[in-house]
Structure 1
Amino acid sequence: MSFLVIGECVADIVRGADGTERIHPGGSPANVALGLGRLGRDVTLLTQLADDPTGRLIADHLKGAGVRVESGGAPVRTPSAVVALDARGQATYTFDIAWTLETGGLPRAERPCHVHIGSIAAVTAPGAAAVLTEVERLRDGATVSYDPNVRPALMGERAEAVVRVERCVALSDLVKASDEDLAWLYPGEAPETVAARWLALGPALVLVTRGAAGSLARTGREAAVAQAPAVAVVDTVGAGDSFMSAVLDTLAGRGREALSSLGAEDLAGLLARAGAAAAVTVSRAGAQPPDRAELDAAGERFALRSGRAS
């Protein structure tokens, strides 16, 4: 099964609470592609990278995990984000990024079975239009997933951002968001309420991550929750993307009807495995998702509790 991820690469300049600084390859869609590659999946990333030192660093990082990198036009410089970590390892971001993706219906020898979009690339003009064009072109033969990965500094006015996000939700079969994403998009609304609204727009499955509080999953008929594994946090960079990669790996090959038919036990198991992937990532610096052996070991090591949601 082949995956196509469309979205940005970003050089994460991570500044610790102690003032130290490290550069890590990042960008939410790129991290998802990296995670799929490390899990042994056939994955292509359609992105933009400049021919500069950080661009080459990111390209080599992705290719080292088996990800094919396909260009949709080169920016003047590779996008970057200054990532400030507080004493708990929680991250805040300051971006220097432009997104001008061009596709023109790029030819491919094989159409993907699944398309993943998200973050800055799915809602930032002018490149977002090309992302949605590709999704609309491919979705008849592929399932689609979306992670808004909200960056308030780049989202503009909230009401307009909600319209853009909900358009992506409506094009998708599977949506994953964090509780922080939902709190910014829909202030004061419970995650369960937003999940129900999004399901009504078209997706078969909505997942919500809640950091140390765990995660939840809902279809039109079933729901489940899972606790987060207890783990020492180095930083939270890329945790949600590792969660997403593990979700896509676990559900690989399931069509829209199969996603909507997932039972409560299936959902609980999905959350547990994805939570284990996120736990591995937060236990080490930067967006470093697990490979398959690490994920299998983590699933056995962590004592995860999950079950049907009320």
Structure 2
Amino acid sequence: MSEKKQDDAAKSRNRKSQIAETVIWLLIVFGLLLIVLQGIGYLEVFALQGRAAIVALAVIAAALAAAALNSYWQGIRLKEALQRLADRQRRRPTNVTFDRVEDGERVSGSDEEDEVWEEKVKFSAVIEERQRLARELHDAVSQQLFAISMTATAVGRTIEKDWERAKRQVELIEEMAAVAQSEMRALLLHLRPVHLDGKNLGEALQVLVGELQQKTAMAINFVVEGEMTLDTQSEDHLFRIAQEAISNTLRHSKAQAMTIRLAGFGRQVRLTFIDDGVGFEVEERKHSSYGLLTMEERVHEMGGSLEIESSLGGGTTIDIWIPARTVE
């Protein structure tokens, strides 16, 4: 079998694996949403009471744990694969030779190799993002479900002996279910497609904010000022940054309100996020938060700057400036 056929076979296996894993994660997410929505009284899908509720939550928690372990194993394999790719890239010749010239068009002898390399890099990025989502599901949602399961068990033991205590435990379950729902909503933001469906950045962000305003209690105000024409890559980057910023606010800030401002200033574009949440220590969080690091990388790739101002109890402001690289 030639090297090209081997690569095609590997790509086919990778695609099938991606589809299977995506279906599994979607089933888990769907199951979690049903449990959470029923737990807080929005849906009546099926009767989950007593031991049945505990068993159902335990099954989902076990599935999440298994998926997280699988993602951890994939992370190890990804790290090894990236190392092999890096070694191979270092061994590639730095100069590019052209084999022939036909009708004024130069044809590179390494085009096929470059295409294979780009495909592998894209695949690695997809796996890395999937691993991150798996970690988030395991660290956030599964912990909330475990706490709900343990509290539900306690309710069963105390409901006949101490009604007031059992009532407080039920209220605690409702609060934890609301937190789990918020975590799920924030994670689902990352599953939205990156393309903007023919809309410009301002229109796409308006749609995103409109959808969120119907699903969350936090007030979100979106303002567009000035005119701007960005290239597609910059719009995609800024849209992903907005998703990450909103997700972080929903999950961590406990904010009552958030303002998003998109403004054009001649050859520069400014995107600002302001919330009235609990705030955080900027230097400590910048080095430990994957989301903030990703936002910073995207901004630097566009040749812009990112500044974060936050203090405990004083809310957070994220201020982004990028050059308006217009389409000619």
More strand per residue: 1
> Which one has the largest radius of gyration?
2
More helix per residue: 2
Measured against the shorter chain, the TM-score band is under 0.3
